[in-house]
Copies of this chain bind each other. A is one copy, B any other.
């Protein structure tokens, strides 16, 4: 069995895999083009996927399984993979923990005036007269309530929040007190103190938040977007903030990334922005390799893949 890894892994990870699976041959490269002729010998490919083309798939005659170290499959040659009978697994839900932590952390910061406290530390200013709010017992609406939303809702429940979800199916889900379908989104926004958007970028979600949506929210609502930036136009969002339709926006994703230097969102007084880092985590690669190993163990035993096998007909 020959595993070709076409992405940078730490020395520690590489040595661990070699030690742990003596029956497997590993080759570790930085991208798929370094593989040359060896691509045609690979049984298993470990990849981030963005450098993989139809031509690579055609050359990989022995390939039976691609382990994708990413959750998004937009850039993958899915049709060619399907036609060549190659199985595909990914790292779905790998962003759950860091993104749920991001949301809780940023909402706590917004409610607890941590930016002012920070500035005061740098200025050696002892001011304990700040108004500090609690996120506990508030209402959180999660729009795009998938795997990440479920983890966030679980934490929100620990903070004794009421949790409302908006999802395509509208089906009840653990840790959600209420669930709406996407076409009922306005109902879900009405009572939220926190609106957390984790929507992907699709035709249906493009500019889904319009003026009427922000008008429907509480004046005191905090809007947090860590899904995709094209769910709302910057102008719409800035107007909602300037007209006090909501109180604050926390943005990790933007219509254009990196956000242009002159964009008004950078220094809008009601905006906290971060550079698309909500899913960044030191634990990403170890966690991805853990998922790989779960499948590798069963694959070596009986050829089965038990975790995150993609149905190539449906595409997810």
Contacts and interface: CB of A to CB of B under 8 A. Distances in A.
Interface in A269-285: 272-277, 280-283
Range class of the A interface residue count: 35 or more
A258 interface: yes
A281 B155 contact: no
Nearest to A132: B280
Contacts of A154: 158
* Copy total for this chain: 2
Contacts of A115: 118
A149 interface: no
B272 A135 contact: no
Contacts of A131: 282
Nearest to A131: B282
Interface string A244-274: 0000000000000111010000110000111
Given A97-B134, A135-B101, A267 B109 contact: no
A139 to B, nearest CB: 15
A251 to B, nearest CB: 10
A130 to B, nearest CB: 6
Given A106-B114, A128-B275, A132-B281, 17 more contacts: A97-B134, A101-B135, A101-B136, A102-B112, A105-B108, A109-B114, A120-B275, A121-B266, A121-B273, A126-B258, A127-B275, A128-B277, A128-B280, A132-B280, A134-B283, A155-B159, A157-B158
Interface of A: 97-98, 101-102, 104-106, 108-109, 112, 114-115, 117-118, 120-122, 124, 126-128, 130-136, 154-155, 157-159, 257-259, 261, 266-267, 272-277, 280-283
28 contacts: A97-B134, A97-B136, A98-B132, A101-B135, A101-B136, A104-B104, A105-B108, A108-B108, A109-B109, A109-B114, A118-B118, A120-B275, A121-B273, A121-B274, A124-B266, A124-B267, A126-B258, A128-B276, A128-B277, A128-B280, A130-B280, A132-B281, A133-B281, A133-B282, A134-B281, A134-B283, A155-B158, A158-B158
Q: Which 10 A-B pairs have the closest CB atoms?
A: A158-B158, A126-B258, A105-B108, A128-B275, A126-B275, A132-B280, A124-B266, A97-B136, A117-B274, A128-B277
